[in-house]
Amino acid sequence: MNSNSAYLRFWGVRGSYAAPYNSHMQVGGNTSCIEICADNHTLICDAGTGIIPLGNRLMKSKQNRELFIVLSHYHWDHINGLPFFVPAFSPDWKISILGPGDSPEDVAQAVGSQMKSPYFPVGTENWQAKIEYKTYPKHRFEFGPLTVRYQSVHHPGLTYGYQISVGGRIITYIPDNECMFMEKTLIQKGSKLNDEEKTYYDLMKDEEYESELELSRDADILIHDSQYTFSEYEQKQGWGHSCYLDTVQSALDANVKLLFLFHHDPAHDDKFMEEIRKDAEAIVQMSEKDMRCFVAREGMRIKIGNSSGA
């Protein structure tokens, strides 16, 4: 496949809840949704409010009427665009949906629950598209030219991070994850541990960090949770989100080429996000590594065949 034809586009970049405020419009207000398109195959990562305008665009397009949606988890900000996703209500479409769970029935139940009374008037039984719920025991599948694998990350409840390979490029999508979870927990518990426990946990910490970086290792593009500043993280440790300083450090350690800070806190307006960008860039420059770092913005489209084209 000619990887130059592949692209990814950000349709929603916020975490927690949508932020449709004038002060936030340069970065964007919709919650998590990314489109990855290759060879007429469309993979959608998460179904936050960003999937609503994507659905409207897909209805007008002439492309293949087959979609694959992968959900990181079922917190509202990752699924609450689905009740308004127009292709699901059209018989022309075939839509596969994968998310955390032991069986396709688990996925169907989690997706359908938010559309039941009294929360929503129209249930998934009204969807006209051919819907297939998926789980894969080996946590790996192929969709056209895309190879997708996934594993659990540090976030309350079962949550997946995804790695998508296409045309020799690697894209890693980890929208909700608390970076360096073990290390942070150790620091918090430090004074309560004896020497033997400290040695044991130190060893575990290194192994844990290695496995945490596994999905991101050598990624051409990493899209990662960076919701908090240092002081916000101190208040919210254990909530399952990363301080952007840790996100940048993890990406450097994983030898990532292009990092997109993602899942922005709805309290952070455009001005604040610019400060975060400058600070993140300064850390990258100090490292003298060849990584580039951006704040993910709604509407950004990146050619996957050319990772310098952001």
Whether residue 100 contacts residue 159, with contact meaning beta carbons closer than 8 Å, is answered with: yes
Q: Does 176 bind Zn ion (CB under 5 A)?
A: yes
Whether residue 130 contacts residue 142, with contact meaning beta carbons closer than 8 Å, is answered with: no
Q: Closest CB to Zn ion among 48 and 305?
A: 48
Distance, CA of 282 to CA of 210 (rounded, Å):
25
Q: Which stretch binds Zn ion (CB under 5 A): 51-59, 75-83, 193-201, 271-279?
A: 75-83
Find the shortest distance in angstroms from Cβ 182 to Zn ion: 19
Find the shortest distance in angstroms from Cβ 225 to Zn ion: 8
Q: Which stretch binds Zn ion (CB under 5 A): 168-176, 177-185, 230-238, 294-302?
A: 168-176
Q: Closest CB to Zn ion among 107 and 166?
A: 107
Distance, CA of 70 to CA of 60 (rounded, Å):
22
Q: Closest CB to Zn ion among 83 and 175?
A: 175
Whether residue 224 contacts residue 32, with contact meaning beta carbons closer than 8 Å, is answered with: no
Which residue minimizes CB distance to Zn ion? 75
Measured in degrees and rounded to the nearest 5, phi and psi for residue 70 equal: -110, 130
Q: Does 100 bind Zn ion (CB under 5 A)?
A: no
Distance, CA of 10 to CA of 137 (rounded, Å):
29
Q: Does 15 bind Zn ion (CB under 5 A)?
A: yes
Q: Closest CB to Zn ion among 212 and 265?
A: 265
Q: Closest CB to Zn ion among 76 and 200?
A: 76
Q: Does 77 bind Zn ion (CB under 5 A)?
A: yes
Q: Which stretch binds Zn ion (CB under 5 A): 8-16, 83-91, 120-128, 302-310?
A: 8-16
Whether residue 129 contacts residue 94, with contact meaning beta carbons closer than 8 Å, is answered with: yes
Q: Closest CB to Zn ion among 157 and 190?
A: 157
Whether residue 92 contacts residue 101, with contact meaning beta carbons closer than 8 Å, is answered with: no
Q: Which stretch binds Zn ion (CB under 5 A): 21-29, 52-60, 169-177, 216-224?
A: 169-177
Q: Does 46 bind Zn ion (CB under 5 A)?
A: no
Q: Which stretch binds Zn ion (CB under 5 A): 7-15, 34-42, 125-133, 266-274?
A: 7-15
Whether residue 171 contacts residue 220, with contact meaning beta carbons closer than 8 Å, is answered with: yes
Q: Does 75 bind Zn ion (CB under 5 A)?
A: yes
With residue 134 as reference, give the H or E element that holds it.
Answer: strand 130-134
Q: How many chain residues touch Zn ion (CB under 5 A)? A: 4
What tokens were used for 35?
Answer: 């489109």
Q: Closest CB to Zn ion among 77 and 212?
A: 77
Q: Give Rg (Cα) of the chain.
A: 19
Distance, CA of 226 to CA of 178 (rounded, Å):
9
List, in order, residues 6 or more apart from 252 with CB less than 8 Å away: 283, 284, 287, 289, 291
At 120, the amino acid letter reads F
Find the shortest distance in angstroms from Cβ 176 to Zn ion: 4
Name the site residues for Zn ion (rule: CB under 5 A).
15, 75, 77, 176
